[in-house]
Structure formats: C-alpha cells, structure tokens
Structure 1
Amino acid sequence: MTTGLEITSLSVGPMDNNAYLLRDRATGEAVLIDAANEAPRLLQFIEPGGIRAVVTTHRHPDHWIALEEVLAATGAESLAHPADAPEIPAVTAHLHEGDTLQVGASALSVIHLVGHTPGSIALYYAQEGGHLFSGDSLFPGGPGKTTNPADFNSLMDDLEAKVFGPLPDSTTIHPGHGKDSTLGAERPSIPQWRARGW
C-alpha cells in the first residue's frame, strides 16, 4: 500500500490563488487548503473522493470566496485560526499553533505566523522532503505583505523561529499565489528581506 499525501493544486480566480488538495493515499481522506474562488472548478477538482475539511490560511476574502458553496456541497468542516475566524464564513473549528491536522494516516503541523494577518497559519507535512503550505505568509522572494514595521518584524521573527529555524532546506514551499520554491533556495535572502523591510 502506498502511503503519504498526494498533493495537487489548482489556480483559481482573478488573483491566481492556489487551492491545494491533500489526499491521504492510504485512506483516501482529503482536505482542501483555501476554497479561494470558482466553486464549480473546485468541486470538480476534489471529486470523486470528496473532502473532510477546508482549511483557510487567513482571513483575506480572496482565500475564501468559494468557501460557503464548497462547504454546502461537500458537508466538510471549516477550519481556521481563532484570530482570523470571525472574518471567515462558517468556521466550525479552530486550529492553533502546534496542533496536528490529521488527514487519514498522514499528519500536518499547524504553524501560526503573525504579521500578514493576526491569524495566518501555515501547514507543514514532514514526509517526502517536507512540504509547507504557507498561505500568504511566505512566497518565493520574501515574506507576505505587511502594513507596518511591527507586523513585518513579527512575521519575519515567526518565519525565522518557526519555519527557517527548525525545517530542512529540502522543504517545498507551496504559497497562496504563484510558483513553488524551497526553504533552501530562499534562506540566503533572509538578511536582504530584513534590510529592505518587506
């Protein structure tokens, strides 16, 4: 029996948001990260196996426009961090720093990254070289957008302490928009990000 997660992605909407389907190969159970837009395409994307839950990485509407329609069609639960949950429709349970999100026989760790929004989260899957679903907190080329120096410093501190510090260079970054990268490719640029302030 093959094990681990099958990871597929779909770019939706006018802002090219990435939606990620994580399906456990052993059990077939799946979760969707960010029901961002274009509900009919997302529902086609997740069939025929369906999903157990939708994880919303943060409260910005371009990451949850299709959420209510996807929930209604699938019966999935809706998961988000409590700091952002009041601005996300239909959240049924909260994810906190250090929680484990179980997808069948596979497990992902919840990482709370404060700065892009107060309740932004990333999900880390440690197997197969490592996979980080970073929402809008980390992209190829730098951290996500922040609106003031305090938020930028908070996000950079969290990224260094919780992502670049403990996770291996082999980890693939799967961002909320755009192409994948790796922590190893981005790590040398951290001093430059700090110096420029964005």
Structure 2
Amino acid sequence: MAYTGAVSPGGEPDVRELSHLRITKVAVDPDMSNNCYLLRCAATGTQVLVDAAAEADGLLRLVGDDGLAAVVTTHQHWDHHRALAEVVAATGAEVVAGAPDADAITEQTGVEVTRRVGDGDVVGVGDCELEVIALVGHTPGSVALRYRDPDGHDHLFTGDSLFPGGVGKTWSAEDFATLVDDVETKVFGRLADDTWFYPGHGDDSTLGTERPSLPEWRERGW
C-alpha cells in the first residue's frame, strides 16, 4: 500500500521505500503520540533512528538484528527521548543532538551526547546524508533533518518545530518570532513545495500545502 504517514500508538508502522532510503514511521505512547522514524540505507543496511521517544522494546524490534548507527534526538523535551538510554545501551548507537540542547538531554536521560551538531552539519545513514537545519524557538537546540532524494523530492524530519497547520509551541513572543523566522527562511525559503515533512507528532504534510498559511501563522502569533 502507498505510504500515507498516518500512524497511531499500538498500530502498525508505515513504510516508505525510496530509491536509496527506507523510512519507517511509528507512533508510540497513547498519551503523547510521538512519532519515531527509522531510516535505513538501501545500499549498506545502515540504520539511524530519529527520536527514541518511548517504548524501547518496540523500537528495538523495529531495528532488528542489523544494528543502529545513531540516534538523533530532535530536541531536549522529555517526551522525545524517554527510550534513549535503553536503545543506546542495547545498540551502542552514536547519540546526536543539536549542541544547545545536548547538556539538557544528558541531564534528563543520563546518556552522553557523543556528537553535537549545528546548522549545515551532515549525519550519515550509510551512503545517504541528512543535512542538519537548526530551528531555534521551540527549544534552543532543535534540529530538522533534510534528506535530498537524488531520484525525487526532499524529505524533512522537523521534530516539534513544524507541523501541519503551524510552527511548534513557544513560550514567549520572542521565541515565536525566532522560530517562525527560522522556519520561513531556512525551510520555506530554501526548499521546494514538493518537500514532504515528517513531524514529531501527528500526520505529515508538504511545504506546498502549508506555505500559503505562513502570513496567518505570523498574524495569530502561534
């Protein structure tokens, strides 16, 4: 069946097969309904997990026997890294996070962030590459990850910085202005309308679907 990105906690993952990368989306925790994304390089079998949010046993079953090269935590909020310690202990995966959020992640999980990344850095998934886009506002060190499919459109993993219908939650007018500026400049200003994005909760969308609403988001202030 065609990939839709519609998943729910306790339900089956949704799998998207690209020419060089497999994207497996799964939702965890009925209360928070976090999305986790297992990325697998078709050529090498190398796997990277975006957000070990919860339910470590299920995530490890998804990883299987082929190992896990890295876990990228999109930001420091507790609901996105509750399974990090258990997943890393079982797999020995590298721990990647935005530099400004790294200390908070370690304090909350007891897991050392072994690679602190910033805007323009690259996270490898075997022969595939994820470009780090720093998006400040939801947290100081939130990151999105851009995969440029050589045979198709871009794919963007946005954590809690961008959702269908608006940017992520902020706690001050200053933080909102920073986040909406970053999202408009670094995401909508650089990536095409056919870019498919995968948020930290809920359904996916495309930049073309959301782009006309940017002025409305600014005006309403959230």
State TM-score, norm by structure 1. 0.97
Instruction: Name the structure 2 match of 1:37.
Output: 54
- AA matched with 1:115: G
Partner of 2:216, secondary structure, is helix
Give CA-to-partner distance per residue, 1:128-155, whole Å, 9 cap, x none.
3111000000000000000011000000
Q: Which runs of 5+ in 1 are unaligned?
A: none
Structure 2 residue 70 is the aligned partner of structure 1 residue 53: yes
Structure 2 residue 188 is the aligned partner of structure 1 residue 164: yes
Instruction: Name the structure 1 match of 2:27.
Output: 11
Structure 2 residue 121 is the aligned partner of structure 1 residue 99: yes
Mapped partners of 1:26, 1:103: distance in 2: 10
Q: 2:203 aligns with which of 179, 190, 193?
A: 179
Partner of 1:62, secondary structure, is helix
Q: Which shows bigger deviation, 2-11 or 76-85?
A: 2-11
Partner of 1:48, secondary structure, is helix
RMSD in angstroms over aligned alpha carbons? 1.0
Q: Which runs of 5+ in 2 are unaligned?
A: 1-17
State TM-score, norm by structure 2. 0.87
Mapped partners of 1:142, 1:173: distance in 2: 13
Contact 1:20 1:32 in 2 (8 A): yes
- AA matched with 1:5: L
Percentage of matched positions with identical amino acids:
57
Contact 1:34 1:64 in 2 (8 A): yes
Contact 1:3 1:26 in 2 (8 A): no
* 1:44-193 pair list within 5 angstroms: 44-89=61-106, 90=111, 91-127=113-149, 128-193=152-217
After TM superposition, what 4+ stretches of structure 1 lie above 6 angstroms from structure 2? Answer: none
